[in-house]
Amino acid sequence: MLSILPVEKYRTTARAQFLASQFMPRPKEQAMSPLREILEQRRLSALFQPIIDLKSGEFLGFEGLIRGPADSPLHSPINLFGAAEQQGLQLELEMLSRQVVLETFAKLSLPGNLFLNVSPETLTNPSFKDGQTLAFLKQLGLDPARVIIEITENQPTFDFEGMRDALLHYRGMGFKIAIDDLGEGFSSLRLWSELRPEFIKIDMHFVQGVDHDPIKLQFLKSIQHIAESCGTHVIAEGVETEAELRVVKDIGIALGQGYFIARPSPTPPLLASTETSRIINSSNIALFPKADFYQRSQTTAHKLLTYVEPVHPDTLIDHIFERFNVNPALRIIPVVKNSVPLGLINRYHFIDRFSKPFQRELHSKKPCSDLIQGDPLLVEKGMPIEELSHFMAEADSRHFADGFIITENGRYIGVSSGQDLLRELTQMQLEAARYANPLTLLPGNVPINEHIERLLLANTPFVACYCDLDHFKPFNDTYSYRKGDEMIQLTGRILSWACDPKLDFIGHIGGDDFILLLQSRDWKARCEQALRSFEQAAELLFREEHLAAGGYNSEGRDGNVKFHPLTSLSIGAIQVAPRQFLSHHEVSAAMTDAKKMAKKTNGNSLFIEVRNTVARQ
């Protein structure tokens, strides 16, 4: 059905001869097979699944799909094409499938474009004559510009150059090109880079569950970024839930396809469903899944490595004197023989030993191997930092001061010290705390600021709330830090319960300070419910006498003992209109002011800032 490059281009290849042989007459018994009967009687039917524009909400077109007879085990496309592969009838089946899809598409007068599945095997087959495709489309009254050839790979492509040339040939006739199942196919990335197709389809594996999988989210973001740079439209396949559609839309992906939008049908809908349209037209943005920053760190011991020129065990002690004397910053010298580490010479131990009179004169001509005290601590360069910290804790304490040797397959490559390890661990913990609070595991400063920026960029109205505990320090001092941690965790849970997980974002910036970014319309009722819940739940953390008295005596920040009320929750809220603020810094400052006003009211309180602001143009 579909023509490709002239036959002469492929006649000499063995593979072309093999493919051409597939059209040779079959033995009589094979011709009587169920599949052969289906092909001869043209008992195939076409289904169409819409592909939606995620900005306009209109259907760009439809993907044509094929089914066998409803009363046959070959109704399923998996069984149908599996039988064709077993019987060597792949090309005949694909030819007829595309004939049926094209004819049905024209008969139904479906609008927009038709995505037509084509395998690389068929695309490069020499038995089709140039011009047949255009003639058939003209007969059906279809413009080639409305047909997108969708390359689907089920096996490795061996004739890559032939496939690329064939696609370029079709593009020259007016067809557009799509590459299917990016992330699953065998050469789709190479085709994308060289052919620059108009459309790229992301395999459904990366779309399904993207609303709670940060790795899949990052994959989609990366593909979208590449697509933008080369002018390709991305189609997200396999969209099956509202949450997946929201995330795909917010990433900026142009097109979507899947059961949530519309199932394949012999008579597909021409308009998006009310539910789909509502999501596409909504100004709300999706909550991206948060990464688990407390997974085992990927940072390894190799990052701590410092290369120090090693010495041979026969090196004279006098030479060690010179090394330490010339370089005051040199802390350890490794002793290595044939790349195998034998020990370490620590500067301070060395100086302490030879600071006594005549020690250098007595020992300067002896080998430095005499200075090695015990076996060194050997660490492979690929050992994770966190594992190394446990390893060091269980090892002899001298290794923390003496340092350790870093190896690669047992061979010396460098040294490090306990101080270097501590410095890196501290940095990692500080970095992790910026992304997720270690006490509540809620998102930290970086995700909070990123989400505010997304809301501002999308011109989405939202409410930003700064939540803070009043009189928390006296509680912490009176009841212990452990009880203080319990109250902070309780506050985090209560605020999380008040949020709609589909619309509202909660973050913990540290201490007893929380941030809510609410898109829910009933945000005020949610804040008030959080205050009531906190008042009831917090009572369980106070002693009976303190509840009866309404507070307790404790040392204040000025050092004087005085009466402090029971800990309460204050929420300062600002309503953010589109283009009212330019950055998360401005939103943060306004939230802080609202929080200060809330704290001026005794007890659990909600302050809503009402300001007459003009949206910035």
Residue that the structure tokens 């026969």 belong to: 314
Give the tokens for residue 580.
């009212």
How open is the CA angle 597-603-608, to the nearest 5 degrees? 35
How open is the CA angle 116-119-120, to the nearest 5 degrees? 130
- At residue 46, what are phi and psi to the nearest 5 degrees? -105, 140
Give the tokens for residue 310.
């090693």
Distant-in-sequence, close-in-space partners of 93: CB < 8 Å, separation ≥ 6: 35, 39, 80, 81, 84
Burial state string for 409-429 with b = 16 or more CB within 10 A and e = fewer than 16: eeebbbbbbbebbeebbeebe
Map residue 331 onto helix, strand or coil. Answer: coil
Q: Pick out the chain residues at pLDDT < 50.
A: 1-31, 293-296, 612-617
- At residue 561, what are phi and psi to the nearest 5 degrees? -80, 130
Beta strands 513-518; 505-510: pairing state: antiparallel
Which amino acid, 238?
Answer: G
Map residue 328 onto helix, strand or coil. Answer: coil
Going by the DSSP 8-state scheme, the letter that residue 256 receives in this structure is: E
| Gap between the Cα atoms of 358 and 361, Å rounded | 5
Distant-in-sequence, close-in-space partners of 336: CB < 8 Å, separation ≥ 6: 310, 311, 312, 342, 412
pLDDT in tens, 18-70: 333 433 444 444 445 888 888 888 999 999 999 999 999 999 999 999 999 98
pLDDT of residue 123: 74
Which amino acid, 543?
Answer: R
Q: Report whether 404 contacts 376 (CB < 8 A).
A: yes
Give the tokens for residue 262.
């519309």
pLDDT of residue 121: 76
Going by the DSSP 8-state scheme, the letter that residue 316 receives in this structure is: B
Burial state string for 181-200 with b = 16 or more CB within 10 A and e = fewer than 16: bbbebbbbeebbeebebbbb
Which amino acid, 531?
Answer: L
List for the chain the helix, strand, coil content (%; round to 5). Answer: 45, 20, 35
Q: Report whether 108 contacts 267 (CB < 8 A).
A: yes
Distant-in-sequence, close-in-space partners of 506: CB < 8 Å, separation ≥ 6: 442, 443, 492, 495, 496, 499, 514, 515, 516, 517
pLDDT of residue 374: 81
Distant-in-sequence, close-in-space partners of 416: CB < 8 Å, separation ≥ 6: 301, 304, 305, 306, 379, 403, 404, 406
Its pTM stands at: 0.65
Percent of the chain's residues with pLDDT above 70: 88
pLDDT of residue 544: 93
- Of 391, 213, 215, 377, nearest to 300 by C-alpha is 391
pLDDT in tens, 565-584: 999 999 999 999 999 999 99
| Gap between the Cα atoms of 565 and 549, Å rounded | 9
Give the tokens for residue 411.
């061979």
- Of 48, 76, 46, 77, nearest to 61 by C-alpha is 48
| Gap between the Cα atoms of 91 and 93, Å rounded | 5
pLDDT of residue 329: 86
DSSP 89-133: -HHHHHHHHHHHHHHHHHHHT--SEEEEEE-HHHHT-TTSPTTHH
3-state secondary structure 172-226: HCCCEEEEEEECCCCCHHHHHHHHCCCEEEECHHHHCCCCCCHHHHHHHHHHHHH
- Of 88, 91, 41, 49, nearest to 68 by C-alpha is 41
| Gap between the Cα atoms of 531 and 534, Å rounded | 5
CA-based Rg of the chain, rounded to a whole angstrom? 35
pLDDT of residue 615: 39
Classify the C-alpha dihedral 55-58-59-60 as positive or negative: negative
Give the tokens for residue 608.
């809503």
